[in-house]
Structure 1
Amino acid sequence: MMNLERKTHRDGNLHPKAFNCLKLLDESFTYHNDHTQRHPFSIYSRSIQKVMQSFNAVLDEIDQISTALFNADGNLDYPLKKLPDLQKELLYALQSHIDDCYRILKVIHPYNSNVNEIFVESWLDKVKHPGYKDFHNEIKRYRDSFAPIVNKIKHNGGQLRPIMMYSRGRGLVARTVDKGIQIFPKNARIVGYFLEGMQPNGRIGPDCEIHLDGITAISLNRDLRYHFANLYRVGDHLRAAIARTVRHFHEIKLPRHVAFNDTASQYDIESIAERVSKLPPLFFENEFSKKTPDIKFHRHNGNADLILEVPGSQYMTWEGEVMIYSEIQVDAVCPYYQLPYR
């Protein structure tokens, strides 16, 4: 279990720990000019900006879906077609962010003209970078949890499709896992997505290599918590890798807590953190047994605290009647479709 805390009164902002470390990194500790790369803080701040803007766009779309009305036919009077593209951009941004973290490790290592490697990770491995192996091992499981989805979209023609489970009455009874406390959510809507692929039986539906038995999906209530918390976990391990590298080459120990008041970000990280923390703890049935990061956000006396517990614990289960709403595109050559949970 990993507990991460960011506090504005102590840290100056709620960014992942690597943000302050890189902002205040002494110029003598970076070799970005030799590598013809941006300053490591520039790499990180631009990268985190893309991720946060993508989080914000997905959260905005969830708000639209969650408040949309139903028409006279009982259908949601708001199309879900924007959601897959927005979620795809978030996954792309998250994968690019991890790639950017490896680039940061490269530019704080002295340039080595004897190593001619195009791929950053291969370069880091060949120069025996002091921070690379531990960082790689710590974040590998997280990266591997969603990289196959991104790769299938990029290289296999995979498509993300939206799905929503909803109950417009008091049809759901939710129970907390730890104490069994009952909750009766009204107008519950669980929004999610799945990667579409060809199944062994010839149907089009959830990709069997990504989704259990080709009949499940991913809820955004859990997925956004998972990615948001792991973004901070990656930042924590990146800060440790930077400190290890500086200590190796310069024999200087970086301070663990450094404060930097950030007022120039083009996104409101406090708002994003608060919105993710307030997502309903309602997930798809196959996610009941999965551990979900616990994210707590508090405001007090003009300050803000963000507390994350990774990998977290089981949140909540529910039972009751729900409707399943999805938007799909049937192939004229392969007209048979397998919907999730059907």
Structure 2
Amino acid sequence: MSEQTPTSEQQPTGGREPEAGRGLVRSLSDRLSGAISQVAAAGALIVVFIVLSIIAPSFLTADNLFNLGSQTSVKAVMAVGVTLVIITGGIDLSVGSVAALSGVVGVMLMATFGFNPLIGVLGGIVIGAAAGLVNGLLVSMVGLPPFIATLGMLSVARGLVLIVTGAVAVFGAPESFRLLGQGVIGVVPIPILVIVVVALGGHFVLTRTRLGRYAYVMGSNSEAARLSGVPVKRHTTSVYVLSGALAGLGGMIAASRINSGQPNFGEGLELDVIAAVVIGGASLFGGRGTVWGSLIGAFLVAVIRNGAVQLGINTFYQNVLIGVIIWLAVWWDRYQRRKLGADSG
């Protein structure tokens, strides 16, 4: 009596279905964890806003809210770019220095060479993108760790700022340049409109383009992404270019607010930007993050700093508080990942 060979439908799957099931559970749990972090950040923002409205009488004034929106725009725009980088599992420590370099070069294009404000702003963005390109190539082609590559760019960009300005502020930009950082359309500040446009663009990139989809895959497992045919080097470079370009735009907004290029601008700004992204639910280990979460984080950081100023709290204490918040956010992320690993194992 001959033996029957099982058909492909009858043959055992070798554990593929359980493995796929665990992957699905991990993906859903990871998304849920990110959503919880965003909701927690939004709740904290609402609570802090209400408390400051009560204990700081000048917090809710029109002038202060306008300044708050303008201040937040710089961090929020830069946070969108850093979100893309962090989702891939990288980091960009150079955004503060790149923003300063972009700001002074953009103002110099207007003040020294006579270009109109639009060209000046575009020039600043291009400078930022060029710095991001160098970061991306150092990471993707040379193989430097993102921390080292962008830490080096932090120093290089800051040094270039001091070289081109002689450590002296650059003045002489036309008055129309102020519109970017101080103008309004109706009752809405232009910097807020810039946030909306950049956020919508960033959300589109993450949810509707290959770059966005690949960014999550690369952040979850870069080697698996490479073996699956994802052009990891090209897309890694692309996210750093976008981060640099948005840092350049943030630098131009900041320069527009005071109509000058300040060589000392952006010192320590990367701390606030990274804090905003992490508070908003992005994981420093890669694979998770959203633009909207980063915006919530940016507004939370800005409100905390603005409220501290309203209450006369020393800047040093503000830095301590932001640092502690970063610790807590990263600890929460690690806790969630360990719990997820235990549940899916």
Do Structure 1 and Structure 2 share a fold, with TM-score over 0.5?
Answer: no
TM-score range, shorter chain: under 0.3
* Larger helix share, 1 or 2: 2
* Larger strand share, 1 or 2: 1
Q: TM-score, normalised by structure 2?
A: 0.24
